[in-house]
Amino acid sequence: MTKKVRTAVIPAAGMGTRFLPATKAIPKEMIPIVDVPMIQHIVEEAVRAGVERVVLVTARHKESIENHFDFNIELEDSLDRKGSRELAELSRSIGKLCQVISIRQKNPMGLGHAVLCAAPVVGDEPFAVLLGDDLIDSKIPCTRQLVDLYERESASVVGVMQVPKTEVIKYGIIGGHELDPRTWHVQELVEKPAPDKAPSQWAIPGRYVLEPAIFDCLRRTPPGRGGEIQLTDALQLLARERKLLAYAFDGVRYDTGDRLGFIDATLAFALRRPELRSGVVELLQKHLKTDQN
Ligand code: G1P
């Protein structure tokens, strides 16, 4: 019997330098897409996938993330007193999403190291990993799609999407043999390969469901690209020792770690909000017209 995936690990220790100056005093994870912080979108995906607790791997100056998933009693009581019950409940609902446990990555030693920091909390159980710079919009949460395959096959699963050859350098890339049009048995993984060295154009955009054996692989992984302990390198070890699958999930992925990707996500999410849609369309038309003059 496969164990239930009840924990999600969300690395959130990065300095967010790609978003300076916004990230000088606030964590990148708290920057909103419309009015919802990026990290809340990620935690909500995990919760919709059936996860009961989230392990945030954080660093100094990231306390506001923990506060966001707690109650804000002064705010909520004051909203209640003013008769703004709906807003008070909206604020409380974030505190009730799931159990949030936070743990510090004391040194920035890479994504693999960040995931390893969560080992004492995760224990001997399968878990999901969701990276905060990748927002995936889908009917069935991307993490749920991976959990379903994990439960069917009792094997670790990475989510993949096809990228242009020129972009393989931005991702962990898999190679292996195709089991069906959506599923691969992974034999090889390379972190950010040069286009001519990539085993395929199937990239991992930050969604994983992993067996606890990955922790042992991470402990044996030497620093790789950029002198950091890479999750992709540990997955290569895992793939040699156990079955590792890749699944081409159904959904639209936004790279919110990139300025244009962030604007893309903001527009997409704003346009689907009924109370904002026509206003956003009007604004876009206005700006396009002014731009042409
Ligand atoms: C990380 C991972 C990489 C993955 C990517 C997805 O890289 O190391 O394997 O494909 O996230 O966004 P980063 O973008 O943090 O450099």
Q: Which of 133, 189, 208, 262 to mutate to test the pocket of ligand 1 (most atoms within 8 A of CB)?
A: 133
134's tokens: 């990748």
Best substitution site from 116, 136, 160, 170 to test ligand 1's pocket, by max atoms within 8 Å of Cβ?
A: 170
Of residues 222, 150, 148, 238, the one with CA closest to residue 189: 238
For a ligand 1 pocket test, name from 171, 210, 256 the mutation site with the most ligand atoms within 8 angstroms of its C-beta: 171
Ligand 1 neighbours (beta carbon < 6 A): 111, 131, 133-134, 171-172, 191, 203-206, 230-232
Of all protein residues, the one whose alpha carbon is nearest to atom 6 of ligand 1 is: 205
Three-state DSSP class for residue 69 = coil
Nearest to 130 by CA among 199, 198, 29: 29
The end-to-end CA distance of the chain, in Å, is 65
Closest-CA residue to 133 (of 270, 13, 5, 8) = 13
Atom of ligand 1 nearest to the CA of 255: 12
User: What's the gap between Cα 272 and its chain centre?
Assistant: 21
Structure pTM? Answer: 0.96
**What is the C-alpha to C-alpha distance for residues 83 and 24, in angstroms, rounded to an integer?**
36
Walk me through the domains of the chain, giving residue ranges and CATH numbers.
7-257 (3.90.550.10)
Q: How far is the CA of 114 from the centre of ligand 1 (A)?
A: 13
Residue 2 is predicted with a pLDDT of 84
Cα(246) to centroid(ligand 1), Å: 16
Q: Which atom of ligand 1 is nearest to the CA of 204?
A: 10
Pairwise CA distance, residues 76 & 27, whole Å: 23
Task: Give the chain's residues under pLDDT 70.
Answer: 293
- Phi first, then psi: give them for residue 103, nearest 5 degrees: -140, 145
The answer to whether 283 and 195 are in contact (CB under 8 A) is no
User: What pLDDT digit, counting tens, does each position of 166-210 carry?
Assistant: 999 999 999 999 999 999 999 999 999 999 999 999 999 999 999
Short-list 120, 5, 104, 111, CA closest to 56: 104
Enumerate long-range contacts of 143-147, CB under 8 Å, 24 or more apart: 143/8, 143/45, 143/46, 143/48, 143/49, 143/51, 143/207, 143/209, 144/48, 144/49, 144/50, 145/247, 145/249, 145/250, 145/251, 146/207, 146/208, 146/209, 146/247, 146/249, 147/5, 147/49, 147/50, 147/209
Distance CA(259)–CA(281), nearest Å, equals 21
* One-letter amino acid for residue 194 of the chain: A
pLDDT on residue 293 = 66
Residue nearest to atom 10 of ligand 1 (CA): 171
- For residue 106, the model assigns a pLDDT of 93
Contacts for 186 with CB less than 8 Å, ≥ 6 apart = 158, 174, 175, 176, 235, 239, 244, 245, 246
Centre of ligand 1 to C-alpha 191, Å, is 8
